[in-house]
């Protein structure tokens, strides 16, 4: 008789993949991942609002929760246990430098280096999409293909969390920099082509993280990114890590709220055993913050899910 | 173990046919994708050029698991003399092309395990998976440029195997 199942050994994985989703800092709402509903997604195209962070290296998890015994009787014996503290940490290295990975790995606020030569931000005309930014011809001529641009509103004295679609900073007191929101926004993309005749504007290589630009948003060229040691802002994000085993099984680690635990660090990884070239990886250490599980009201910091291989005995 | 070896070979053969349909070999009056298993063919006096040859080498078994894991090392040998139209001066480019094809053939790093002794082949319960290839140095012998790559192929023994 043919067998219809097999005894699956522990998963054998090659690497770990990371995914990001923005926490709504204003309302304190993280993104929850439901593996029962979305666990089978293609790793290269995660379901919205998750964004791939690429493959990561040296992924480690550490639970810092402490339990304490409750003793009763003479002589005292453990009656039950109580959880005194709830804590968990995650560490890994990003294998790429992008706006997102750099911003998450840094321990503080992450900013865009706005290009000084490009002058004032250009007003986005009507008809914009997530990949097409119509501009006046004169404004479009200030940009060139390959340029990175930031798209967001002018700073108008607001306080609190600013930036879209991810809160890039918390403004404690009103500032005077009109470009401040575009300086901290995560809504960045690379220009694929520039049209200065006909329908003038910018075509982007990828869709803006924030989707279709809202009314009043402007586009501004930037040259790179910068972070600082210090400050009081902590970036917060919802994280998902996936290990895929050789039999197709999957292990998910979901942290609804993660904040950077340390400062910005780089890890050098030699390309060859006796060579001098080194790959510089962004190192990240993160602390998990608690959420209330809507299922039963318990406070938790992370979830570990396992989707077994097909036909595996459980 | 043979099912894993067969599945690995057929997976690479199928992928090669899609990656480069023009890489073929005429063997026993049949035109096939340009990849053969050395131990399943008549002995070669010299390995054919512009064809991938799989040579099975080491074997390891881990029985301390719910299902026995088998690790089989395969060496992929390939060589080229370039093309006649360029007088063989393109042999370096031809070898690079084969390097790229091998990397593409090995991705993704798994394939379902099938039993090819049955007709039609039957899908088994587990998958065959492998590690990234370790490429050796290119070697030149007169006008022939060759390279080998080693891959460790893993599988779980199923009931009846």
pLDDT-based confidence at residue A219 (cuts at 50, 70, 90):
very high
pLDDT over 80 (residue A119): no
For residue A117, the model assigns a pLDDT of 65
3-state secondary structure of B15: helix
The helix or strand, by DSSP H or E, that contains position A105, with its residue range, turns out to be: helix A99-105
Q: Do A3 and B69 touch (CB under 8 A)?
A: no
pLDDT tens digits, residue range A125-145?
Answer: 999 999 999 999 999 999 999
Per the structure block, which two tokens stand in for A118? 């490009």
Rounded-to-integer distance, Cα B133 and Cα B74, Å: 10
Q: Which residues contact A259 (CB under 8 A, 6 or more apart)?
A: A234, A235, A236, A286, A287, A289
For helices B91-105 and B2-19, the axis angle rounded to 10 degrees is 120
What pLDDT score was predicted for residue A13? 94
Which residue of chain B comes nearest to A4, CA vs CA? B125
Beta carbon pairs, A and B, within 8 Å: 42
Cβ-contact A259, A235 below 8 angstroms: yes
pLDDT under 50: residue ranges of chain B = none
B94 within 8 A of B80, measured Cβ to Cβ? yes
How many Å apart are CA A141 and CA A146, to the nearest integer?
14
Q: Mean pLDDT, to the nearest integer, of A166-189? A: 95
DSSP structural state of residue A140: H
Whole-number pLDDT of residue A313 = 87
Interface test with B, best of A43, A246, A311, A314 (most B CBs within 10 A): A246
Minimal-distance CA residue of chain B relative to A246 = B129
- What's the gap in Å between the CA of B110 and the closest CA on chain A? 7
pLDDT digits (tens, 9 = 90+) for B51-83: 999 999 999 999 999 999 999 999 999 999 999
Q: Is B71 on the interface with A (CB under 8 A)?
A: no
Mean pLDDT of all residues belonging to chain A: 93
pLDDT at B141: 94
pLDDT band per the 50, 70, 90 thresholds, residue A1: very low
Q: Would you say the C-alpha torsion B137, B139, B144, B147 has a positive or negative sign?
A: negative
Q: Which residues pair with A305 in a beta bridge?
A: A252
Contacts of B67 in chain A (CB under 8 A): 6-9
Q: Which residues pair with B140 in a beta bridge?
A: B145
A145-169 residue pLDDT tens: 999 999 999 999 999 999 989 999 9
Q: Name the residue among A113, A99, A103 with its Cα closest to residue A222.
A: A113
Q: Whole-angstrom Cα distance, residue A85 to residue A63?
A: 11
- What pLDDT, on a 0 to 100 scale, did the predictor assign at position A116? 83
Helices (H), A107-208: 137-140, 180-184
Tell me how far apart the alpha carbons of residues A11 and A247 are, in angstroms, rounded to a whole number.
8
Min Cα separation A277/chain B (Å): 20
The pLDDT assigned to A2 comes to 57
Residue whose entry in the numeric block shows the structure tokens 């470009």: A179
User: Mean pLDDT across the stretch A66-91?
Assistant: 95
What CA–CA distance (Å, rounded) separates A152 from B117?
63
- Collapsed DSSP state (helix, strand, coil) of residue B102: helix
Percent of chain A with pLDDT over 90: 88
What's the mean pLDDT in A279-302? Answer: 95
The ipTM value here is 0.84
Distance of CA B33 to the CA centre of its chain: 11
- Over residues A20-41, the pLDDT tens digits come to 999 999 999 999 999 999 999 9
Global pTM reads 0.90
């Amino acid at each position: 008789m043919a067998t219809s199942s097999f005894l699956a050994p522990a998963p054998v994985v090659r690497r770990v993949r990371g995914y990001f989703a923005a926490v709504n800092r204003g309302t304190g709402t993280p993104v929850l991942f439901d593996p029962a509903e979305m666990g089978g997604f293609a790793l290269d195209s995660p379901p919205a609002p998750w964004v791939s962070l690429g493959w990561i290296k040296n992924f480690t998890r550490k639970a810092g929760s402490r339990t304490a015994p409750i003793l009763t009787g003479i002589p005292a014996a453990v009656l039950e246990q109580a959880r005194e503290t709830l804590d968990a940490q995650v560490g890994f290295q990003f294998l790429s430098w992008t706006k997102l990975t750099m911003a998450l790995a840094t321990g503080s606020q992450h900013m865009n280096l706005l290009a000084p030569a490009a002058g004032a931000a250009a007003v986005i005309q009507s008809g914009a999409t997530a990949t097409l930014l119509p501009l006046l011809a004169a404004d479009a001529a200030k940009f060139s293909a390959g340029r990175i641009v930031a798209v967001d509103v002018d700073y108008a004295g607001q306080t609190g969390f600013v930036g879209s679609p991810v809160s890039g900073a918390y403004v404690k007191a009103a500032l005077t920099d009109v470009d401040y929101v575009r300086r901290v926004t995560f809504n960045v993309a690379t220009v694929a082509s520039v049209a200065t005749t006909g329908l003038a504007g910018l075509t982007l290589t990828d869709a803006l993280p924030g989707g279709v630009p809202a009314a009043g948003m402007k586009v501004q060229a930037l040259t790179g990114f910068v972070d600082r040691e210090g400050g009081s802002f902590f970036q917060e994000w919802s994280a998902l890590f996936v290990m895929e085993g050789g039999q197709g099984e999957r292990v998910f680690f979901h942290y609804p709220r993660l904040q950077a635990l340390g400062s910005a660090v780089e890890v050098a990884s030699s390309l060859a055993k006796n060579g001098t070239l080194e790959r510089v990886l962004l190192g990240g250490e993160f602390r998990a913050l608690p959420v209330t599980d809507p299922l039963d009201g318990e406070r938790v910091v992370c979830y570990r899910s396992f989707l077994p291989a097909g036909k595996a005995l459980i | 173990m043979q099912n894993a070896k067969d599945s690995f070979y057929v997976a690479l053969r199928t992928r090669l046919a899609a990656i480069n349909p023009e890489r073929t070999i005429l063997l026993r009056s049949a035109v096939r994708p340009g990849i053969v298993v050395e131990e399943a063919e008549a002995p070669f006096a010299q390995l054919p050029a512009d064809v991938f040859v799989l040579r099975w080498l080491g074997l390891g078994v881990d029985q301390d698991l719910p299902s026995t894991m088998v690790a089989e090392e395969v060496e992929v040998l390939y060589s080229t003399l370039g093309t006649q139209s360029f007088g063989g001066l393109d042999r370096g480019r031809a070898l690079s092309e084969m390097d790229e094809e091998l990397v593409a053939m090995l991705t993704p790093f798994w394939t379902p395990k099938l039993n090819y002794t049955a007709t039609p082949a039957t899908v088994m319960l587990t998958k065959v998976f492998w590690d990234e290839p370790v490429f050796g140095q290119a070697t030149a012998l007169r006008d022939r440029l060759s390279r080998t790559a080693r891959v460790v192929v893993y599988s779980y023994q199923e009931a009846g195997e």
